[in-house]
């Protein structure tokens, strides 16, 4: 890993109308620290079988053709269902985690321990499948950001995104957001990168820089922040709340060759792009943050209302008996392990 200083360059940015413009780097950041790490060059991940290490596997997926589709999961049930459906990457949404673990809205209420507990559980279900985890603002200053990285790595998380909202943050698709200064945001990114690179043995953990500045300070500022985050070592750029196809395309062009992540929430600020549409626009990762927990609300509401009205759960069960439910949760694997180890506790289940 090396840090080099480079002089100011003419850069590209995106106006709110989607046009790409050039600008001179502001004097305050005219001499930048540019992160380079030859070991993490995407070219090193182009060939060979997919790794069993989830962070390495995620880097391989980013380096190779095709968009990475990561459905938002909120608990063990939703993670199991996503894996059953054939998804090869999962997204631990901060909003979904806060809702499922605490029954609270996404307003900076959940702590690192809440996020970590969920991540440890999800990553243990299939340790090879990459999990991208929300890390909000890093839960504190640089030391806390570094601690978040090391704890996530130990939990088996493949990558995380860290944003530029103030500590009392909110869901990126709500109004009234506030963001910190560029320098404070870059301090968070640098702290995450330094912590990752300090992990013994050389970690492939993916650092994703997210900005919420588009709705607060405009698209041009959002692009400037993401380019600076990339220079500071962010592996992927996450533009939150991009409002049109044209803005996503111009964002991808302005940030190339850095991969871009787009977040789709039905009814949110970003149109409901399909994954093929997002891929055609140049996005490399698409996440559907609330796909599981919103579906759960609809289904559980209906089941509870039916139970209240009829006095039975027969209709909402839809023919799924306990054994069928436990099969979705990995029953067969547990029974097989017990049998292969010489146990007999689950000969009949």
Give the domain CATH number at 76.
3.20.20.60
Tokens standing for residue 149 = 């990285």
Output the CA angle 175-178-181, nearest 5 degrees. Answer: 155
Residue 239 lies in a domain: yes
CA distance 37 to 11: 22
Q: How far apart are CA 300 and CA 77, in angstroms?
A: 13
The set of residues, in sequence order, having a beta carbon less than 8 Å from that of 342 and lying 6+ positions away, is none
Mean per-residue pLDDT, 240-258:
96
What is the C-alpha separation between 172 and 338, in angstroms, rounded? 45
Q: Does residue 2 carry a pLDDT above 80?
A: no
Share of the chain above pLDDT 90, in %: 90
Structural domain contains residue 84: yes
Q: Does 287 reside within a domain?
A: yes
Q: What is the average pLDDT across 101-127? A: 97
**Helix, strand, coil shares of the chain as percentages rounded to 5?**
45, 15, 40
Whether residue 133 is contained in a domain is answered as yes
Euclidean distance between CA atoms 126 and 337, whole angstroms: 15
Question: Is 102 domain-assigned?
Answer: yes
pLDDT in tens, 157-168: 999 999 999 999
| Residue 141 domain flag | yes
User: For 13-52, how does the pLDDT look when each residue is reduced to its tens digit (9 = 90+)?
Assistant: 666 666 665 555 544 444 567 999 999 999 999 999 999 9
pLDDT digits (tens, 9 = 90+) for 199-232: 999 999 999 999 999 999 999 999 999 999 999 9
Specify the pTM.
Answer: 0.92
Q: Cα(306)–Cα(310) distance, rounded to whole angstroms? A: 6
pLDDT tens digit sequence for 119-159: 999 999 999 999 999 999 999 999 999 999 999 999 999 99
The pLDDT of residue 285 is 98
Residue 331 has pLDDT above 70, yes or no: yes
| Axis crossing angle, helix 291-310 with helix 94-102, rounded to the nearest 10 | 30
- Specify the residue for token string 């146990």: 343
Domain count along the chain: 1
**Closest residue by Cα to residue 40 from 258, 311, 324:** 258
The band of 11, judged by pLDDT with boundaries at 50, 70 and 90, is: low
pLDDT of residue 30: 44
Query: What are the residue numbers of the active site?
Result: 91, 106, 134, 136, 161, 163, 171, 210, 240, 263
Tell me which residue range forms the domain holding 283. 54-296
307 is a domain residue: no
96: in domain: yes
Whether the Cβ atoms of residue 229 and residue 212 lie closer than 8 Å to each other: no
Q: What is the pLDDT of residues 43-83, one digit of tens each?
A: 999 999 999 999 999 999 999 999 999 999 999 999 999 99
């Amino acid at each position: 890993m090396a840090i080099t200083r480079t002089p100011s360059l003419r850069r590209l940015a995106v106006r709110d109308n989607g046009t790409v413009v050039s600008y001179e780097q502001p004097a305050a950041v005219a001499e930048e620290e540019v992160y380079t790490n030859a070991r993490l060059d995407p070219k090193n991940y182009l060939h060979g079988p997919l790794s069993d290490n989830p962070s390495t596997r995620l880097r391989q997926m980013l380096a190779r053709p095709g968009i990475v589709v990561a459905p938002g999961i909120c608990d063990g049930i939703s993670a199991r269902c996503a894996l059953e459906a054939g998804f090869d990457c999962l997204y631990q949404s901060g909003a979904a985690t806060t809702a499922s673990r605490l029954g609270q809205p996404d307003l900076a209420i959940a702590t690192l321990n809440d996020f970590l507990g969920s991540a440890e559980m999800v990553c243990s279900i299939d340790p090879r499948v990459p999990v991208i985890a929300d890390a909000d603002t890093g839960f504190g200053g640089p030391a806390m950001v570094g601690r978040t990285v090391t704890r996530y790595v130990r939990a088996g998380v493949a990558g995380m995104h860290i944003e530029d909202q103030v500590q009392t943050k909110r869901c990126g698709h709500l109004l009234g957001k506030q963001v910190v200064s560029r320098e404070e945001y870059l301090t968070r990114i640098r702290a995450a990168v330094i912590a990752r690179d300090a992990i013994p043995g050389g970690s492939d953990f993916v650092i994703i820089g997210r900005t919420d500045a588009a709705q607060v300070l405009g698209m041009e500022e959002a692009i400037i922040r993401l380019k600076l985050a990339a220079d500071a070592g962010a592996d992927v750029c996450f533009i939150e709340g991009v409002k049109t196809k044209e803005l996503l395309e111009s964002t991808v062009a302005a940030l190339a060759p850095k991969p871009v992540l787009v977040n789709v929430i039905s009814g949110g600020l970003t149109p409901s792009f399909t994954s093929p549409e997002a891929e055609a626009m140049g996005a490399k990762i698409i996440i559907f943050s609330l796909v599981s927990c919103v579906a759960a609300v609809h289904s559980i509401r209906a089941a509870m209302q039916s139970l209240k009205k009829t006095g039975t759960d027969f209709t909402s069960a839809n023919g799924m008996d306990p054994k069928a439910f436990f099969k979705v949760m990995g029953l067969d694997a547990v029974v097989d392990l017990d049998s292969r180890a010489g146990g007999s506790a689950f000969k009949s289940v």
